[in-house]
Structure 1
Amino acid sequence: MKDIEEMFEASKAQMDRIQVPDELEIRLRSALEKAEQKPLPFYQRYTRQLRIAVALVFVLLVSFNYDAIASYGKQLFGYDQVMDGTLRELNNLGKGQLIGKSHTFANGVSLTVDYVMLDENQLLLFYTVKDPAGKVNDALSPFISLKGFWGESQLQSSQGLFNDEESEVKNIASFEPPPPMAKKLTFNFALGDHGISTPAEITFILDRNRAMGHTLKKELNQVIKVDETNITVESILASPTQTVIRGSAQGIIALVLDTVSGERFRPHDLSFRLIANGIEVEKQGGGMSTDLQGITFHSNFNALPAPLNDLKLELVSFGADHDVNQKFRLQTSQENQTLDISGQNVEINEIVVKERETLITLTSEESVVLTKVYLIADGKQIVLEETIDDQYDKGPDGIIKHQRTLRFQGVGEELELDIKSMTYMKDYNEVINIPLD
């Protein structure tokens, strides 16, 4: 569009500089008077007028729709089936940066960085891989990275869509946002061919003027009591592409003390619902990690609606692996014996001793798993060989029961279950109101 405007301006300036000779009008009049008056064919009479009309229409379209045409030129095409509704809307608004840089390997496989979107939560890199041989699924190594002078942005997630011929795939990779000073970025990838990895890279300049920032950023520090610990919801960061909730399940000091005492619990599942304007926001993933900061978590959701009038976060359920370190005597002559293990009921349905093995069938709620269990037979500890015959049954109350059989390679007269640890989940449905001002 800029080139077209410059062309019009140059042509106008050139026409303004043209000086018509004084004798030109006299010569033209004389020639017209001597010329024989003949009617022109239809197509010749209107060709010049048609050309002028087309030119005027083009000028008017460019003049009145310059912004729309410029935005259209910045849009990304071919990713409709990979993008969700939020990304499609941002793309339609031209919220991103066209890159269009490629690398082609010797065997014809190519990778093109098409587009990037950047806000405070993530950098989305859109790239296309093509393989003329129709084996694009095997063409590239899955290990990709994004690096700059100030360090590497960690890969958070990736998704893609193959065409029917499997000669092309459109991918969207999510990376941590690069540091504020980073502009020159390098996308690293590799060709995987018969066990040989051939590295390559594409470098591009990030246009910070096209970054989208955030829509809501709050320190929350809201505490929810769960079992032996407190869940702290620390912050929310909402941006045009994503909403991220961050928090902690246990600080480093408490983690060390529990480890030393042998009464650890290891959270493995936190289920949150984010409700904006009374409607649940789509969940996009999350994770949990243990490091020098303790046990921390993050939950990712889709972007928030606009305008935003009300926002709530609900802790639906919490699951963890708990140290138990308890022994339970088994009544071999009694069926349906119930064990109370850390507040969770485990029902012993049947104990079968045959040949050189002991089979113990038990039932519990779906989320209850004996993660480390031994059989003590006449004082001798026997390891669990395997769990077999898994069955799930949903009762009238909607609770799903899980029945399975533990197989131990050993027998004895006096039997005990030595449960070292177990996993279970509990429902909480605790709601936090998130302030918007």
Structure 2
Amino acid sequence: MNDLEKLLTYKREELLNIEVPEEMEDCLRNALNKRKKHIPKSAIAAALIAVLLFAYSFDSLAYYGRKFIGYDNVTYGSLKELNEEGKGQEINKSCVFSNGIEVTLDGIIFDDNELVAFYKIKSTKEKLDPLKYDISMHLYGINLMGYHAKSGQREFRDDYNNICVAWFEAPAFYEKWMKLNISLRIDDTVEERTIKFTLDRNKAMKKTVEKKLDAKVKLGDYEVYFDKLTASSLSTYIKGKVKVSADNAKGALERDIISEYERGLQFIDFDIVTDKGEKVNLNNRSTENSGNEIRFVKSGDALPKEFNTLEIKNIRFENYKIIDKSFDVSVETKNLKVDDEVIVKEIYYEGDETCIVVSSRDIPIMQVNVGDDTGILNYDQYKNDVENEKTVERTFRFAGKPKEIKLQFKGMVNYIYTDETISIPVD
């Protein structure tokens, strides 16, 4: 029995136990007696039950108004809102592998920036072991290269059922007949299945903003170009590129800045804020090396519904340096040299907390292991510190007063900011 059947059965039993109040019955009978046609008592009860059914089922009807049911824990932001509003295109097609694993594509929500697939994985035989079964997906159309899956979310509902969403590159404007290619690794072999569907462009989320920006800011050794902003009720994408500044080309080449960026040791970051102070949630980013420049895309939720202008601000670089060292320390530890730029000056107790004083130019990325506790209480206090020319002493705190402490230094991070902002008028 599915969820809808269970709900209706429960409501039926609940309604069968409802007793109609005598006062309400008398009131209805007096009103109906004025009519020439006789209305039986059973009809009165049926009318009351219908009214009560509507009242009891209002929330349930709203729940089942969703396009794709069961995806609450794997969707968020604008994607979750669109599903609750019943947006998207239903597919409802399945494929089955030789080991009894069934994949059902419930539907999609898409725009010009991305396509999100809602699908379920069900095993009719063995338990779903993520270490044993590796499922991958690729979307194909006329474009022979297809459209890659960029990211995904999965909920392990129980041992035999998974609820999933996957984000794909958006199909090109000319695509209509699509194939979702699903590969499943079973032991040492790979099986492939295909789900075919027709893309209904009438169900696409329409653009709300499309702006060429042609804006540039100077940031350290770089010039950062913001090229284009596109948004719909599903997503917001901003594209640009990073070039080494001509003034610092020699120094940049000596440091191999482009290589650092490619290896994930540097990131461009920024905020998009409306004139009403609302910050757009942009959690995803990707980069691509193109000759002597880095192309970037930052993306996330839809823009807020009401605003007049947008502004790109807090434009910054995050620079990372890997250390990856561990030390056994205690309150007896003094002036421990982690590397040439990092020194643990001292460790002491204060109240019910332990304090670690670290001297460095950049912000240490560190972890304290004391039993099950690894958290530093005041890490956010320093997370936006800018790059310092001289060393700075920072005090990090964690709960408890252990005698023995395992201190792990993962690396260092600093931020380079610019005061420049970019205004984006929206028509």
User: Do the two structures share a fold, i.e. TM-score over 0.5?
Assistant: yes
CA drift at 1:92: 2.9
CA drift at 1:397: 8.0
Contact 1:74–1:97 under 8 Å retained in 2: no
CA drift at 1:148: 0.8
Task: Give the letter for the 1:86 counterpart.
Answer: S
Q: Residues of 1 paired with 2:93 and 2:246: CA distance?
A: 50
Matched, 1:295 2:324: no
Query: Residue 158 of structure 1 is aligned with which of 152, 159, 174?
Result: 152
Aligned residue for 2:354? Answer: none
Deviations 1:8-50 (A, max 9, x none): xxxxxxxxxxxxxxxxxxxxxxxxxxxxxxxxxxxxx989x96
Aligned residue for 1:309? Answer: 308
The 1:129–1:393 alpha-carbon spacing in structure 2 relative to 1, beyond 3 Å, is: closer
Deviations 1:410-431 (A, max 9, x none): xxxxxxxxxxxx9743233542
Q: Residues of 1 paired with 2:75 and 2:196: CA distance?
A: 24
Matched, 1:91 2:87: no
For 1:144, what is the secondary structure of its paired residue?
strand
The 1:346–1:201 alpha-carbon spacing in structure 2 relative to 1, beyond 3 Å, is: same
Aligned residue for 1:271? Answer: 269
Larger Rg: 1
Q: Residues of 2 paired with 1:117 and 1:434: CA distance?
A: 27
Q: Residues of 1 paired with 2:362 and 2:378: CA distance?
A: 10
Q: Residues of 2 paired with 1:396 and 1:138: CA distance?
A: 35
Aligned residue for 1:433? Answer: 423
Q: Residues of 2 paired with 1:166 and 1:346: CA distance?
A: 49
Q: Residues of 2 paired with 1:313 and 1:215: CA distance?
A: 18
Q: Residues of 2 paired with 1:135 and 1:233: CA distance?
A: 44
- Number of residue-to-residue matches in the alignment: 308
What is the TM-score normalised by the length of structure 1? Answer: 0.60
Contact 2:132–2:187 under 8 Å retained in 1: no
CA drift at 1:94: 2.5
Aligned residue for 1:353? Answer: none
Task: Give the letter for the 1:158 counterpart.
Answer: G
Aligned residue for 1:228? Answer: 221
Contact 1:393–1:402 under 8 Å retained in 2: no
Task: Give the letter for the 1:128 counterpart.
Answer: K
CA drift at 1:229: 2.0
The 1:241–1:139 alpha-carbon spacing in structure 2 relative to 1, beyond 3 Å, is: farther
Task: Give the letter for the 2:415 counterpart.
Answer: M
Query: Residue 212 of structure 1 is aligned with which of 190, 205, 216?
Result: 205
Q: Residues of 2 paired with 1:402 and 1:197: CA distance?
A: 52
- Which stretch shifts more, 313-322 or 149-158? 313-322
Of all paired residues, the percent bearing the same amino acid is 26
The 1:349–1:203 alpha-carbon spacing in structure 2 relative to 1, beyond 3 Å, is: closer
Task: Give the letter for the 1:427 counterpart.
Answer: Y
Query: Residue 103 of structure 1 is aligned with which of 80, 95, 107?
Result: 95
CA drift at 1:319: 3.0
CA drift at 1:304: 0.7
Q: Residues of 2 paired with 1:396 and 1:305: CA distance?
A: 27
Q: Residues of 1 paired with 2:79 and 2:381: CA distance?
A: 40
Matched, 1:364 2:391: no
Contact 2:210–2:231 under 8 Å retained in 1: yes
For 2:130, what is the secondary structure of its paired residue?
helix
CA drift at 1:254: 6.6
The 1:392–1:209 alpha-carbon spacing in structure 2 relative to 1, beyond 3 Å, is: closer
Contact 2:138–2:147 under 8 Å retained in 1: yes
In the TM superposition, what are the counterparts of 1:97-246 in structure 2 within 5 Å? 97-132=89-124, 133-138=126-131, 140-151=133-144, 152-163=146-157, 165-246=158-239
The 1:430–1:367 alpha-carbon spacing in structure 2 relative to 1, beyond 3 Å, is: farther
Runs of 4+ in 1 over 6 A off after TM superposition: 71-74, 347-350, 391-397
CA drift at 1:306: 1.1
Task: Give the letter for the 2:184 counterpart.
Answer: L
Q: Residues of 2 paired with 1:299 and 1:111: CA distance?
A: 31
Contact 2:278–2:304 under 8 Å retained in 1: no
Q: Residues of 1 paired with 2:343 and 2:234: CA distance?
A: 50
CA drift at 1:393: 11
Contact 2:217–2:420 under 8 Å retained in 1: yes
CA drift at 1:200: 1.4
Task: Give the letter for the 2:173 counterpart.
Answer: P
CA drift at 1:348: 7.0
Q: Residues of 2 paired with 1:82 and 1:261: CA distance?
A: 43
The 1:178–1:258 alpha-carbon spacing in structure 2 relative to 1, beyond 3 Å, is: farther
Q: Any gaps of 5 or more consecutive residues in structure 1?
A: 1-44, 62-68, 323-334, 337-344, 351-361, 370-390, 404-421
Q: Residues of 2 paired with 1:348 and 1:105: CA distance?
A: 57
The 1:181–1:366 alpha-carbon spacing in structure 2 relative to 1, beyond 3 Å, is: same
For 2:425, what is the secondary structure of its paired residue?
coil
Deviations 1:91-116 (A, max 9, x none): 23322110000001122110011111
Q: Residues of 2 paired with 1:231 and 1:367: CA distance?
A: 24
Q: Residues of 1 paired with 2:70 and 2:190: CA distance?
A: 28
Contact 2:221–2:252 under 8 Å retained in 1: no
CA drift at 1:317: 2.3
Deviations 1:37-83 (A, max 9, x none): xxxxxxxx989x96xx99xx9xxx9xxxxxxx9x9777111111211
Q: Residues of 1 paired with 2:67 and 2:218: CA distance?
A: 47
Task: Give the letter for the 1:275 counterpart.
Answer: V
For 2:307, what is the secondary structure of its paired residue?
coil
What is the TM-score normalised by the length of structure 2? Answer: 0.61
The 1:128–1:293 alpha-carbon spacing in structure 2 relative to 1, beyond 3 Å, is: farther
In the TM superposition, what are the counterparts of 1:386-401 in structure 2 within 5 Å? 398=382
Contact 2:107–2:117 under 8 Å retained in 1: yes
Q: Residues of 1 paired with 2:423 and 2:305: CA distance?
A: 18
